[in-house]
A and B are shown apart, each in its own frame.
Chain A
Amino acid sequence: MIVNALALYARYVAASLRAQAQYPASTLMLTAGHCAATAIEILAVYALFARFGPVGGWSFGEAALFYALVNIMFSVADLLTRGFEVFGTEFVRTGAFDRLLLRPRAAALQLAGHEVRLSRLGRLLQGSLVLILSTRLVPIAWDVSTIVTAIWAVAGGVALFAGILVLQATLAFWTVESLEVANVISYGGVQAAQYPLNIYAAWFRRLLTFAVPLACVAYYPVLAVLKRPDPLGAPDWLLPLTPAAGFIFLALAFLAWRAGMARYASSGS
């Protein structure tokens, strides 16, 4: 069943890639544009550190590591969940979701396979470039454990951002529209998590740790990668475990999704 689902997903991806390959120049330009549009924030990070010097015990190179990982996480999640992002506008309001429900496959799988946009690799590209830059600026002892921690953090982050987008889609069962306000959590979350957590006020740190656990997939594991103790006092052994919160968030998001599915009434043709 799972193999079958993966095979089906691979076919969805292949179909979207073939569609985009019909317009190679357009796809390339959109990717470059997305790369430039999402990369400007690093200019702000750089300019602020260049002018003010280190903040909260962080240099530019270390802050760039947060920026890079968050952007990499978000770009992968964004690539995988386009169907959920446009769920309200393109599926619920139009009634197109009924068609998905008639097919003998999970609706979530079909939505995940809806339009895998190559242009989203633009953000992945700029995040990866900043990651390389950051590792040049800061001595990071890359051994098996730090590499595993970094990959685990990215996986947790992808799960978290995917969970946010699933929740955003779930709202559409009630509102029959994609609510742009939910972008505050997805795009706004990226914006907030690009800086190290300890520079924020306490209430905002708690929000980013316990409500939307962005800190668990970015801040704490990065501390573990840099082998630094938490200036806010979280114990060292806990740091590499925190990305699990991303998966818990995703599981909860799917529970909400199920509740939404159960009350779905078609909006008509």
Chain B
Amino acid sequence: MRAPRPYLAALRARFQLMLQYRTAALAGFATQCWWGGIRIMVFAAFYGANAAAAPISLANAVTYVWLGQALLALMPWLADPEIGQAVRSGAVGYDRLRPLDTYAYWYVRTLGWMLARVMPRAALMVLAAAIVLPCVGLEAWSWRPPTGLAAALLFVPAFVLMVALSASILTLANIVVAASLNERGVNAVLAPLVIVFSGSLLPLDFFPDEARLLLHLQPLAGLVDIPFRIYFADLHGMQAAQGLALQAAWTLVLIGVGRLAMGRMMRRLEMQGG
């Protein structure tokens, strides 16, 4: 990977293409509002019964839910549908002919796909949950700003690493799709794993305490649990640094695994179509 220009062009092209799907973004936003609302009501009921048992405050849990709904499109739970199509139609052959590093090319395409899908949804969610809710007198249920300047500054690298980690997982998933010609199997395995182990379903500390260490060290924690806890300073100082290091380490490992898998897959790839 020498000159970054072709990769930036691929990123921009995919980003602009995906931004065209406005209705999909609106539908996604409406669904996420509803989902977030139900989650928050369930949290409120459990906190009302026994708030002392909770690992984080209700205000932070509410912020966690909105943040998660806003950034849902960054979650690597569905393989890129275009890769499956390209492999089935034989169009993947063009990717072999480009004078580019195919892994890096697929990685930036995935990045563009995710970022374009998340941007409109996140912007609408900020508007609804962080601005409208407090204005109509529902501050208690609103999305709070980061807890302090340090948390805000630390959230920047945490967010970047969250995106990088997610793209590395999705690129690996796309490679499996290319090897198996169909995305349905990969999605069936990936989606439940990501929802549970990233902390999308529940913050990881809500699961039984015996599982805590394992849950915090596994790679998917870097997708939701670590960055969000940095956002509201539940992880701060040394702990936040450890969280960032964990995110970075898993991203590097998964990129390494992805490159190896890509090499193997491309050597065995049979062109479909005619």
Interface string of A177-204 (1 = CB under 8 A from B): 0011101100010011001000111001
Nearest opposing residue in chain A for B33, CB measure: A184
Please classify the interface of chain A as helix (H, G, I), strand (E, B), loop, or mixed, using the class held by over half of its residues: helix
State in angstroms the CA–CA spacing of A52 and B45 once bound together. Answer: 10
State in angstroms the CA–CA spacing of A37 and B48 once bound together. Answer: 29
Q: Decide if A132 is an interface residue (CB 8 Å cutoff).
A: no
State in angstroms the CA–CA spacing of A122 and B54 once bound together. Answer: 33
Q: Decide if A24 is an interface residue (CB 8 Å cutoff).
A: no
State in angstroms the CA–CA spacing of A186 and B44 once bound together. Answer: 23
A179 surroundings in chain B (CB, below 8 A): 27
The answer to whether A53 touches B53 (Cβ under 8 A) is: yes
State in angstroms the CA–CA spacing of A150 and B54 once bound together. Answer: 35
B195 surroundings in chain A (CB, below 8 A): 40
CB distance from B81 to the nearest CB of A (A): 15
- Stretch of A26-34, A89-97, A165-173 that contacts chain B: A26-34
State in angstroms the CA–CA spacing of A195 and B195 once bound together. Answer: 19
Nearest opposing residue in chain A for B28, CB measure: A180
Nearest opposing residue in chain B for A184, CB measure: B34
Interface size on B, residues (CB 8 A): 33
State in angstroms the CA–CA spacing of A54 and B53 once bound together. Answer: 12
CB contacts under 8 Å to A, within B44-74, are 45-50, 53-54
Nearest opposing residue in chain A for B206, CB measure: A47
Nearest opposing residue in chain B for A182, CB measure: B27
Using A30-B184, A44-B202 as known contacts, say yes or no to A37 and B45 having CB atoms under 8 A apart: no
The answer to whether A191 touches B196 (Cβ under 8 A) is: no
Nearest opposing residue in chain B for A201, CB measure: B41
The interface size bin for chain A is 20 to 34
The answer to whether B31 touches A180 (Cβ under 8 A) is: yes
A29 surroundings in chain B (CB, below 8 A): 185, 188
Q: Decide if B237 is an interface residue (CB 8 Å cutoff).
A: no
B49 surroundings in chain A (CB, below 8 A): 52-56
CB distance from A203 to the nearest CB of B (A): 10
CB distance from B65 to the nearest CB of A (A): 12
Using A54-B49, A192-B38, A200-B41 as known contacts, say yes or no to A36 and B188 having CB atoms under 8 A apart: yes
Residue positions of B touching A, CB distance < 8 A: 24, 26-28, 30-31, 34-35, 38, 41-42, 45-50, 53-54, 184-185, 187-189, 191-192, 195-196, 201-202, 206-208
Residue positions of A touching B, CB distance < 8 A: 29-30, 32-34, 36-37, 39-41, 43-44, 47-48, 50-56, 179-181, 183-184, 188, 191-192, 195, 199-201, 204
